[in-house]
Amino acid sequence: MMLLGPDGTWVSVPSSRVTVLGRGDLVVIQGGAETVISGALTASHELTAAGYAGLLECGVISTFFATDTYFPAMCSRWEARHVLAVLQPRFASPDGDSRVLDVCAGPGRLSLHVLEAGHQLDAIDISEEALDQLRYKAAGAGLSSRLSTFVVDAANFARPDHYAFAYCAANSIKYLGSMSRVQRHLRMIYRSLRAGGAYLIHVGLSVRPGSVTWRGADGRRVDWTVEEPDPRTSEAVERVRVTGPKSASEHVQVQVLLHGADLTAMAEAAGFAIGAMWGEDFTRVPKGELSSSTGNVWALLQK
């Protein structure tokens, strides 16, 4: 579930644990118990300061909602620090042989941090405009010599035995659109990693069917729907429709619905072992719990 925070930025909370009551309250489900956060939402379905504080206390505030043009710098620095903490021990020192792959890199909110740490980085994304922004920022920071970019569909990208480490943040793997494309993507990444390489992914797991609608401060209407599984494919999807102040302005995103068991099975079918797992805040979680996990998690897939 996406909610507009009191500071005007989007936040994500797991629909499997948070529900909306008609009077503007939120209910958070924790270990079978329910916590009611009163006055959590305004009449336009935006988070109040009390609502944000209550969700934060319950530990269900997830990643900010990224777009091609905006992501809070503070959040990206915090996230990059943890990504680098997983990445760095795999290299004796950053050098010309330490190729890293940023999957669905966008305008480079994490890419720049990895480049600044001294690594050689390949960034892939389906959006040429987003990669143009990344190249512009890298040039301004004097980092262009270590950056290569590729406008490509992540489900069809592979460079056999080329990378020591890859990562995919901001729940981007779900935008591949179907289970079969996620499976193909994992196989392509497995082929692209060297022996002993690893793939760190951030992904939201197990959202139950349902929907919620709200209107942002800028007048845009947001409809977030989790659909029932399609009987023809046994797949469910999350559909996000953002409608601008003018009816002709509309943006639709479709995300594949992933359960922990699905992700575990697909990763293992691609050849990976589950190397480690963390919660949204990078608190370590037993890796054996991935198949039953819900909400946003980080998983390290080991070749």
Query: Cα(69)–Cα(19) distance, rounded to whole angstroms?
Result: 29
Mean predicted confidence (pLDDT) in 149-157: 93
Q: Per mean pLDDT, which range of 43-57, 152-166, 239-253 is the poorest?
A: 239-253
Out of 36-45, 154-163, 199-208, give the one with best mean pLDDT: 154-163
Whole-number Å distance between alpha carbons of 248 and 265: 41
Alpha carbons 284 and 64: distance in angstroms, whole number: 20
CA distance 24 to 37: 9
- CA-to-CA distance for 274 and 76, rounded, in angstroms? 25
- Domain 73-205+258-302, CATH homologous superfamily name and number: Vaccinia Virus protein VP39 (3.40.50.150)
Q: Is 95 helix (H, G, I), strand (E, B) or coil?
A: coil
Q: pLDDT confidence of 280, banded at 50, 70, 90?
A: confident
In the block, which residue shows the tokens 């009611």? 36
CA-wise closest residue to 184 among 277, 267, 62, 74: 267
Residues 199 and 189 sit within 8 Å (Cβ to Cβ): yes
pTM of the model: 0.70
Q: Which residues pair with 223 in a beta bridge?
A: 213, 241
Question: Can you name the residues that pair with 295 across neighbouring β-strands?
Answer: 205
**How far is it, in rounded angstroms, from Cα 100 to Cα 177?**
24
What is the rounded distance in angstroms from the CA atom of residue 59 to the CA atom of residue 226? 22
Tokens read off for 236: 């469910």
For 188, the 3-state DSSP assignment is: helix
Determine the Cα–Cα distance for residues 152 and 169; give it in Å rounded to an integer.
17
pLDDT at 71 over 60: no
Q: Are strands 10-12 and 33-37 parallel, antiparallel or unpaired?
A: unpaired
pLDDT in tens, 170-213: 888 988 877 888 999 999 999 999 999 999 999 988 656 666 67
CA neighbours closer than 13 Å in the CB half-sphere of residue 51 = 25
Report pLDDT digits (tens) over 231-242. Answer: 555 666 666 666
Q: Which amino acid is at 150?
A: F
pLDDT in tens, 5-14: 676 556 667 6
Chain mean pLDDT for the chain? 80
Q: Are the CB atoms for 86 and 110 separated by under 8 Å?
A: no
Which strand (E) or helix (H) includes residue 26?
Answer: strand 26-30
